Amino acid sequence: MTSDADQPWGDDLEAVLRQIEAASVTTSGSDGKGVDEFPEDATAAGATGEAFPVRPSVVLDVGRELERASSAAGALEAVAALAAPGFALTGGVVFGLTDDMLTLLSQRGYPIGSETEFRMPLETDYPAAQAVRTGEPVYISSRQEYRDRFPATWPLASRLSRRSWAYVPLITGGSVSAVWLAVFSAPQVFDERVRGLFDSLARGMAGALERGQGSEAELALSGGLRRSMGGAGTVPLGLSTATRYVPTGGGALVGGDWFDVIRLPHGRLALVIGDVEGHDSQASILMARLRTAIHAYAVEGHRPDAVLTRADRFLASLDTERFATCLYIEADPATGHLQIARAGHPHPFLRMPDGTCLIRHIPGGLPLGLLPGENDYPVAETELRPGELMLLCTDGLIEAGGYDLDSGWDRIRDALAPGPANDLEALADGLIRAAGDTSAFHWPADRRPRGGDDIALLILRRDGAGEQRVLPERQLVLTIGQDQARGVAAARAELRGMLHDWETPDQVDSAVLLATELIGNVLIHTDQPAILDARISRRAGNRVLQIDVTDGGDDLPHFRAPGELAISGRGLMLMDALSDQCGVRPESEGKTTWFTLSEKSATGQHLGDDGGRNTP
């Protein structure tokens, strides 16, 4: 035991140190080894060149548990699952910081004592305090190394049954806010793979602490946003999708990354992926607003370039200096035809049926919000062949673990090429697993990545010919001119004939009423003919009627609040009340007003894709 002269923190500090070291004493107590005995150091586990002792699948599971954790105790419980032969992790402690003092936040496996009374000055020559002062981890692989580096502390540690220690700073808000102590019952070599793993886990643990400290309002916002990105929902026949969102870069449950899958008229599909700058609650709020705006522009029927142009102006109109990247695709399930526009976002990745993978280079404009009104977003057109799939992702998937764009794409290719292309969910899991694979953590000490980024991905596959969307079972196309007053009655009769075997008579009446209303609006409010296109298609065993009425007028209809005696202004209200879905989309010349009815839907029940309605 050193004297007070050799130990500047004195007797009181020595008592605190004893309290810390006692935290790591298991129920077996002292190991009985003296200060100068180190026979176990020759058998350190995890030496460089050996197989990594923890399976990647276990690390992935731990990462998911850390993602759910919102406290120091929850984080310690999550990382405890890493214990394995050759990786003898037997306990842990999380120290907090209060008024330049180390405090005790939580402990697992080692009773330190009262969490309300523990305090240690940061100037202490103790590994945890050093980690706070320097912002760098302190790894101690053996008892000999502990004695050489921290001689004042060693007499306390020498009587305990520990063999290796890792003190890792936890960084939130750009500064050290806590220290994680991981304790090993056998000597452990902390090579670059292990250190990389601890760097990654530390970010997850810091996120758990930040979630625990976040306001309830922010957590409610973040949780709601994340639930809204829980999946793609139902997509048209002929296409399949899989989605993932993994917040890995910070404490918030959701950052600025997002994806969206939007049902459009005529069975088309819009696929969106984007990334708002930042990983805080402000990024989440901006993301939610931008995602909603793009969704609205999409269902209005704008082309991909017009959607991004409007989104660019919308983001610039907000009181923020942040920008966003975005990739927007409009897909036709029947033909596989894709129209793609890109705003500073990573290119999509194409996998061919034989496993060949390549980057699909798409011309694009600047990120949204940088130069509003001056950006140009060219539309690239391509065709997705049966069996091909396209991966959309944010840069978090590419650069996870410190990879650059080139090496990150190589990693994605290696995970994507083997498939299984027929199981998109397994393929998505494989991509996330590859991004979190511990074999990636082999960086030199001066290059180890300290940041992190959220991951969002969306996989689109065109199904085989036998799975493609069938053509409409019935289709009726009529043109009613301004001088054809009787054409309205003929249209009503022919529409009823088309629906002669429709299961619900009330829906037939609704369809005829709404079609009459739309045709009448064209004849009264424009000088153009009305073109009616009625189609019956079968989707997942259910027949769906879609009716489009197109005219050459430029003025879009709007919802009104007519008085009780008004004789007009209720057309859109009727569509909203009687149809399953409805909307208005601009055309290159004029506009189209449309609605759908599902044969098996109950009267008055709305079947919006996500619980809502695509109303104009």
Q: Provide CB contacts within 8 A for 597, sequence distance 6+.
A: 507, 510, 511, 544, 545, 579, 580
503 and 367 belong to one structural domain: no
Residue 393's pLDDT band (cuts 50, 70, 90):
very high
Point out the domain boundary residue: 163, 185, 213: 213
Question: Which tens digits make up the pLDDT trace of 428-437?
Answer: 988 988 887 5
Handedness of CA 410, 412, 415, 416 (dihedral sign): negative
Given this model, what pLDDT does residue 516 score? Answer: 93
pLDDT at 55: 80
Of 450, 466, 482, which closes a domain? 466
> Which of the listed ranges 273-282, 393-402, 543-552 does the model predict with the highest average pLDDT?
543-552
Q: Are residues 442 and 489 in the same domain?
A: no
Asked, for residue 293, whether it belongs to a domain, the answer is: yes
Q: Which residue has the higher pLDDT, 602 or 336?
A: 336
Q: What residues have CB less than 8 Å from 319, skipping those under 6 apart?
A: none
- Does residue 201 form part of some domain? yes
pLDDT of residue 552: 85
| Residue 246: C-alpha distances to residues 93, 211, 241, 317, 348 (Å) | 26, 15, 17, 29, 19
The percentage of the chain sitting over the pLDDT mark of 70, rounded to a whole number, equals 75
Nearest to 490 by CA among 482, 499, 480: 480
Q: Tell me the C-alpha to C-alpha distance, in Å, between residue 404 and each of 240, 393, 395, 401, 408.
A: 30, 15, 10, 9, 6
Lowest-confidence segment of 44-53, 172-181, 516-525, 570-579 by average pLDDT: 44-53
Final residue in a domain of this structure, among 171, 192, 213: 213
Same domain, 188 and 232: no
Place of tokens 């500073």: 344
Does 501 share its domain with 425?
Answer: no
Helix runs in 503-544, H state only: 505-525
pLDDT at residue 117, rounded to an integer: 72
Q: Is the pLDDT of residue 471 over 90?
A: no
Instruction: Tell me: do 70 and 141 sit in the same domain.
Output: yes
- pLDDT tens digits along 77-107: 999 988 888 888 988 899 999 888 888 888 8
Q: Is residue 557 part of a domain?
A: yes
CATH code, domain carrying 283: 3.60.40.10
Check residues 111 and 493 and name the one with the higher pLDDT: 493
The Cβ of residue 222 has, within 10 Å, a number of other Cβ atoms equal to 22
pLDDT range class, residue 450, cuts 50, 70, 90: very low
Same domain for 201 and 302?
A: no
Query: Is this prediction's pTM over 0.85?
Result: no
pLDDT of residue 221: 55
CATH code of the domain covering residue 101: 3.30.450.40
Q: What pLDDT is stored for residue 454 in this prediction?
A: 79
Q: Is residue 417 part of a domain?
A: yes
502 found inside a domain: yes
- When divided into structural domains, the chain yields a total of 3
Identify the CATH number of the domain in which residue 493 sits: 3.30.565.10
CA distance 460 to 338: 11
Positive or negative, the CA dihedral 104, 109, 111, 116 is positive
Residue 137 backbone phi and psi in degrees, to 5: -65, 155
Mean pLDDT of 483-491: 78
- Both structure tokens of 227: 């639930």
How buried is residue 99: exposed, middle or buried, by Cβ count under 10 Å (0-12/13-18/19+)? Answer: exposed
Cβ atoms of 393 and 326 closer than 8 Å: no
Q: Chain-wide mean pLDDT for the chain?
A: 77
- For 545-574, the pLDDT digits (tens) are 999 999 988 777 655 555 454 445 566 778
* Same domain assignment for residues 367 and 488: no
Residues 355 and 455 occupy one common structural domain: yes
Query: Is 610 contained in some domain?
Result: no
Tell me the average pLDDT across 53-57.
78
CA-based torsion, 131, 134, 139, 143: positive or negative: negative
Task: Tell me what pLDDT residue 277 has.
Answer: 87
Is the pLDDT assigned to residue 53 strictly greater than 80? no
* Domain span including residue 515: 474-598
Q: Evaluate if residue 43 carries a pLDDT over 80.
A: no
Structure tokens at 399: 């650069």
Strands (E), 249-323: 257-263, 269-276
pLDDT for 343 equals 95
475 pLDDT more than 90: no
* CA separation for the pair 584, 548 (Å, rounded): 9
Q: What is the pLDDT of residues 217-271, one digit of tens each?
A: 455 555 555 555 555 556 677 889 998 887 754 444 567 888 999 988 778 899 9
- Average pLDDT on 440-461 reads 61
Give the chain's largest Cα–Cα span: 109
3-state secondary structure of 351: strand
Nearest to 310 by CA among 268, 337, 341: 341
Say yes or no to pLDDT of 507 above 70.
yes
Output 345 or 117, whichever has higher pLDDT: 345
478 versus 499: which is more confidently predicted? Answer: 499
Shared-domain flag, residues 154 and 230: no
Residue 149 pLDDT grade (very low, low, confident, very high; cuts 50, 70, 90): very high
Q: Does residue 607 lie within any of the structural domains?
A: no
Determine the number of helices (DSSP H) and then strands (DSSP E) in the chain: 16, 21
Q: Are 585 and 592 in contact (CB under 8 A)?
A: yes
DSSP lists the bridge partners of residue 75 as none
Decide if 605 is inside a domain. no
Q: Does 23 share its domain with 90?
A: yes
pLDDT at 2: 38
Whether 209 and 221 map to the same domain: the answer is: no
What's residue 217's pLDDT? 46
296-323 pLDDT, tens per residue?
999 888 999 999 999 999 999 987 889 9
Examine the pLDDT at 273 and tell me if it is beyond 90.
Answer: yes
Same domain, 458 and 497: no
Under DSSP, the state recorded for 344 is B
Query: How far apart are the C-alpha atoms of 295 and 298, rounded to whole Å?
Result: 5
What percentage of the chain exceeds 90 in pLDDT?
A: 22
